[in-house]
A and B are shown apart, each in its own frame.
Chain A
Amino acid sequence: MAFGEWMSESKKYIIGILVVGAVLAIIPFATSFDQYTILLLATALIYGIFVVAWNIIGGYAGQLDLGAFAYIALGGIVASQLMIVYGITPWIGMFLGAAASAGLAIIIGIPTFRFGIREVWYALLSAALVVIMNNIFHMPQVLGSLDHYLPSVSGWFYLEFPTYENIYWFVTVALMFVMLINLMISHSKVGYYLRAIREDELVAEALGIDVRKYKLVALATYASILGFMGYVYVVLQGTFSYHTFNAPESIGIAIMGIIGGLGSIAGTLVSGFSLKLIGDYLRGSLGATIPGLNLLIYGLLLVIIGIFEPDGFAGIYRKYFHKEKSASKVSKK
């Protein structure tokens, strides 16, 4: 598609992304560089990225991916190990990590995205993938039981800094890119095709859509974003181990995606960012007495949303917004 054509179609969304980016960028100044707050926000923002990226496979392609941390951890560990063992800059390592994650995802996608194969098999393979990767990386020949740390270096070459604001800004820029990728997909042929596939695969095939190819495109895009951001996630965590392949958190990403609203960029961003903040707050305040409370609430929210409002936050917002609009029309009369 002609780029100019696309630009004019999406102008207001691009302005939206720039505004979000600008607001996020000045927040560190507002906190007067409080390191605890900035780390908290950067972590919530990176969850925003994960969930907005998840929207590509979940919201557009309609595939329930439950394996986010298989891709995040693999990409992060690849980039980290390349740096630790070979001294390779994460600026290269992150791309290799992204490639590794995309490769892994495609292997899972090839058999399960075939025409006529039920959605459940991809969901299962992706959910189990996190557990299996966890087990494999737990073996002494791979990472063993130990926590691994990044070398204490600093500077843009390593993307590690003594304070958190630089990495926070890096995450902000990355988020803007991921939102842009989402936007480009949703307004392009790929986006139309993915929506059609989500509506009805059989009809999509009959309209000449190579269903598996387009699902794989969505999956590979999603997995490479996660793989790319894996290193930044490791930096924010300060450590990596087989635990980074975190099964409950992977399901958490999907839950946030659905609660935010399938197909909604703004909804998934708000959901990922705010649920991560709320979840961490709950874990911090009540986690010692009631472990897993945050996850329990996510699960309950998902069940309730799934039954009553499958369009998530975005659907609730639209309904409310529409009501307002029609109400104002009536009052004008």
Chain B
Amino acid sequence: MSLGMSLGNIILRVDGVVKRFGGITAVNKVSFDVEGGRILGLIGPNGAGKTTLFNCITGVYRPEEGKIIFQGKDITGLQPHVVAKKGIARTWQKVRPFKNMSVLDAVVVGALLRTNSVVQAKKRAVEALKLVGFPEEKYEMLGKDITLMEHKMVDLARAISTEPKLLLLDEVAAGLRPHEMESLANILRKVNKEKGLTMIVVEHVMRFVMNLSERIIVMHEGRKIAEGAPKEVANDPDVIEAYLGTKPL
């Protein structure tokens, strides 16, 4: 009943999601909404349950309780490839390149989700690579031969080429130098603006997200402890305690 109902501009609703591993509750009754076209930040110290929540949304884990509603439809517990087909793409915290495929072919794999023609897919892959600003002379390089920053761009293009409605970025800034972080943030802004693509940016480095998103959710020990504009969140006593208690900034 409520599923058919229009959620306004809300593209993703996470409703009371619980995920346990043995005796540990990695995600504990987390709820939030994501508005279409926006960049939502999801932060929290290491072990806060961000990646687990991510895996619940993308179908890698099936949550024990709660619902995940995407574009008005319940997608809880669907297999990862079905979730991807419905329009949720993701990038990876630990780089997972297709080592023995060329950069272009790797992105072609993503583009083939929406077409059966390899030629068509190649066109779209080139578009995605251009959008993220990947240098054209390196399209034929193998995944094992490119730099970390280049791989982050390929990973992003690979995800974008599946033509998602929602993109989840898992610690995308991890391992990058400050100036690389800055240019990556610019790429994300550009993709958000040009494609109108909704994003959830997961980070444990607060600074990166603070500049990128208008709204931020903070998780700690599996729970959502704060939600709001970057400034509000940064001054929230619970957030300060969570961060200072585990990891002094």
A interface residues, Cβ below 8 angstroms from B? 1-2, 5, 9, 115, 187-189, 192-193, 195-196, 199-200, 202-211
Contacts and interface: CB of A to CB of B under 8 A. Distances in A.
Task: Kindly state the interface size class of chain B when it binds its partner.
Answer: 20 to 34
Contact of A188 (B92, B99, B110, B118): B118
A206 B101 contact: no
A204 B158 CA distance: 11
Contacts of B119: 1-2, 5, 9
B81 A189 contact: no
Contact of B98 (A189, A196, A210): A196
B100 A207 contact: no
A211 B59 CA distance: 14
A211 B99 CA distance: 18
Contacts of A206: 58, 80-81, 84, 89-90
Nearest to A187: B118
Contacts of B101: 195-196, 199
A196 B109 contact: yes
B81 A208 contact: yes
A203 B96 contact: yes
Contact of A189 (B118, B143, B159): B118
B108 interface: yes
Nearest to A214: B81
Interface of B: 58, 60, 79-81, 84-85, 89-90, 92, 96, 98-101, 105-106, 108-110, 112-113, 116-119, 121, 143, 158-159, 162
Contacts of A192: 105, 108-109, 112, 118, 121
Contacts of A196: 98, 101, 106, 109
25 contacts: A1-B117, A1-B118, A5-B117, A115-B79, A189-B112, A189-B118, A193-B109, A195-B98, A195-B105, A196-B109, A199-B100, A200-B96, A205-B60, A205-B79, A205-B84, A207-B81, A207-B109, A207-B110, A207-B158, A207-B159, A207-B162, A208-B162, A209-B109, A210-B79, A210-B81
